[in-house]
Chain A
Amino acid sequence: MRLSSTREQHGSLAAAAPNAFYRPEVRQALYQVVLVICLGWLFWSIYRNASTNLASQNVSAGFAFLGRTAGFDISQTLIAYPASATFGDAILVGLVNTLVVSLIGIVLATLFGFLMGIARLSSNWLVAKIAAVYVEISRNVPLLLQLFVWYFAVLASLPAARNAVALPGNGYLSIRGLYLPKPVFESDFGFVLAALATGIAGTVAFARYANMRQLQTGHRLPVLWVGLGLIGVLPALAFLIAGRPMTFDDPKLQGFNFAGGMALQPEMVAMVLGLVFYTGGYIAEIVRAGIAGVGRGQKEAARALGLPTGTMMRLVVIPQAMRIIIPPLTSQFLNLTKNSSLGIAIAYPDLTHVLANTTLNQTNQPLEAIAILMGIYLTLSLATSLFMNWFNTRMALVER
């Protein structure tokens, strides 16, 4: 439409041509096209360059190596990793290790960060100063250094396996890790699980009823105690009635090491401690900013209604602070996940360790290995972002 009207203005096609370049829309389109061509050409050149060089060095390209036998050992395997496992299996083991340390790290860092953020705003001088000192230390010392401190200074000072500290209940703590009795479930244990599920469902139902009653009558029912009773007592009763369908496999010192039981390795503990301590500092500041961002009038109004400080924080301040807190919190979750790739420094077998170090070196397929690594981290980050965006929409203030 616009083109034809321009033509009409100038009277002829020939007159329109020289001016076309000066029209913003034509020019914009031109730049886009040139840019796309340039980019396309760039990527094609990179691809051509890499494939030519690889071919000239007789390096085979492709992902066939994923199906080959890996043949190396991984110190922490949460899924099956037999001697015949392939490089693909090894990468999965690494991915699971990354996910585990990231998830535990995110949960603990959030809890710890919230605690410290709120503590920093405390009216208690000592509490506030301790939180401030923590935040400054954790944010200003490089994470790698913190990991070294946790692993090579703190955890390395634990006693040797032969002098392990015996914990109550047949657990052992030594430089080899924390060894705890492993629960062995028998078939009747299903009853206990069923009782637990019933307890949780009952608690949820009761909480809803209590909430409704409070709205109607203003009376509050003891939800906490009833819930604890349902969730704690019901499974315990089921356990006794079913004839204690669970035994423990105790760890025992055998030769060089503990055998049996379940082990928490120092590498994993140091990773979690390092990530939580480091990220917690940032989260504390985000939480402090969020709380400080809630208008003073809101708190004053809550006080005027006679709400105690705890209730005021829980019902008035935190819900409003959350919409300030969640977006930057997402970045911290992403950072934490990516920071877990420092695991190699303290021998934690995360994805980067297994894939970009061991697998890459044994197969000599750097391009493929790094491509897979990037793809996986990108997927993890995008998934975290999507979830947090959904959560953010749910927590956003409903505007009227």
Chain B
Amino acid sequence: MMPFLKMTAAGALALMAVTCGGLEQALAQAPAQPKTIDAIKARGTLNCGVGTGTPGFSNPDDKGVWTGFDVDYCRAVAAVLFNDPSKVTYKPTSAKDRFPALQSGEVDLLSRTTTWTLSRDVGFVFAGVMYYDGQGFIVKKSLGLKSVKELKGATICVQTGTTTELNLADYFRTNNLDYKSVVFEKPDESVSAYESGRCDAYTTDQSGLFSQRLKMKTPDDNVILPEIISKEPLGPLVRQGDFQWFTLTKWVYYALINAEELGITQKNVDEMLNSANPEIKRVLGKDGDFGKSLGVDNDWIVRIVKAVGNYGEIYERTLGEGSALKIPRGHNRLWSKGGLQYAPPIR
């Protein structure tokens, strides 16, 4: 009896010591900010937070391969870090758990149609506006509506945990329109409720409406109203506290824009390497140490363009005419072509 008691006692004490010690270690490490780039390289894969299935932005295809506008950004970052755009682990996140996922370090960056707002700039930092969006409404064609203002008294399906819910309330109050909302957690359920007739309209970012319309049983029976009731600048974001990582994510986006401006495409990038144009030489790493100063190799933009193409190519392939969505480029044209997409020069 005694030896058994003794052993149990010793075991219990040892367990306590280990628990205490282990926790001390685990907790002590948490506040420190490790270098994200080193951590990703050591892990061998980029953890990228994407959406749970938004055609055009992030959606697994019939073979389970993630594709889309947001996914291509992840691929571009992986191309820079590993020279291999496939070294990405995609983590689908819902609107609700995307921020905790980034905050806790489960993902290295979020690239999932997230609106840049002031409150989200606290704790996080946005790499840029990859896509200028705005909140719109979709209704049944048979209602014959021409404007959002005609939705007085309507029931509207909307998702929780987004800026959408507040924009909707603000807009209808400002215009003295009463409405009823039916609030779901996931877009699929909202759309299903809208299609069954529970709601007269469904509201989300206009890009989302285009992609959700594709999933509907009869896409052509639904019409997207022309009004946009909010500014929704969407872009990738990272945690605060690691400037090296933030700067890299920011410049991957700028590199995509610069490449389009200079006409560097997936097809002609190899020819362009021989170009005499000093700007192109700098962008493609033939001149200067711009990649090194970011902590990556100098041919980083060559890798990006080879992997995913320039900004315009990504847009056309995933959202524009080359895709099923066919969203007009609108505000997302280059600044030189009347749009808002603009990037600082690489020099």
Given contacts A35-B16, A74-B181, A364-B120, 11 further A-B contacts (CB under 8 A): A34-B16, A42-B20, A58-B122, A75-B182, A75-B183, A176-B155, A357-B160, A357-B161, A361-B95, A361-B96, A364-B122
Interface range, B side = 35 or more
Q: Is B278 positioned at the interface, with any CB of A under 8 Å from its CB?
A: no
A254 CB within 8 Å of chain B: yes
Report whether A53 and B31 are in contact in the complex, using a CB–CB cutoff of 8 Å. yes
Name the residue of chain A whose CB is nearest to the CB of B13.
A34
Mask, A117-132, CB within 8 Å of B = 1, is 0000000000000000
Taking a contact as CB atoms closer than 8 A, the residue among B13, B27, B151, B185 that contacts A45 in the complex is B27
Contacts of A56 in B (CB 8 A): 31, 241
B34 within 8 A of A: no
Smallest CB gap from A50: residue in B: B30
Does B23 lie within 8 Å of A364, measured CB to CB? Answer: no
Q: Is the CB of A353 within 8 A of B13?
A: no
Output the least CB separation between A328 and chain B (Å): 32
- Report whether A344 and B23 are in contact in the complex, using a CB–CB cutoff of 8 Å: no
Of the residues B95, B154, B161, B169, contact of A73 by C-beta under 8 Å:
B169
Q: Looking at the complex, which of A255-263, A290-298, A300-308, A371-379 is the stretch in contact with chain B?
A: A255-263
Q: Is the CB of A45 within 8 A of B23?
A: yes
CA distance A362 to B12 in the complex (A): 45
Across the interface, A257 reaches (CB within 8 A) one of B13, B162, B180, namely B180
Q: A42-B23, A259-B153 are in contact. Are A345 and B185 (CB under 8 A)?
A: yes
Measured CB to CB, the closest approach of chain B to A363, in angstroms, equals: 8
| Complex CA–CA separation, A353 to B189 (angstroms) | 15
Complex: how many Å from CA A357 to CA B120?
Answer: 16
Chain A residues proximal to chain B, CB less than 8 Å: 27, 31, 34-35, 38, 41-42, 45-46, 49, 52-53, 56-59, 71-75, 83, 152, 156-157, 160-161, 175-176, 254-257, 259, 266-267, 344-347, 349, 353, 357-358, 360-362, 364, 366
Q: Cβ of A175: which chain B residues have Cβ within 8 Å of it?
A: 196-198
Contact A347 B31 (CB under 8 A): no
The residue from A31, A45, A71, A152 contacting B196, defined by CB atoms under 8 A apart:
A152
From B12, B120, B182, residue with most partner A Cβ within 10 Å: B182
Q: With A257-B153, A357-B96 known to touch, is A41 a contact of B20 (CB < 8 Å)?
A: yes
Residues of A within 8 A of B70 (CB): none
CB A253 to nearest CB in B, in angstroms, measures: 11
Distance A46 CA – B99 CA, assembled complex (angstroms): 20
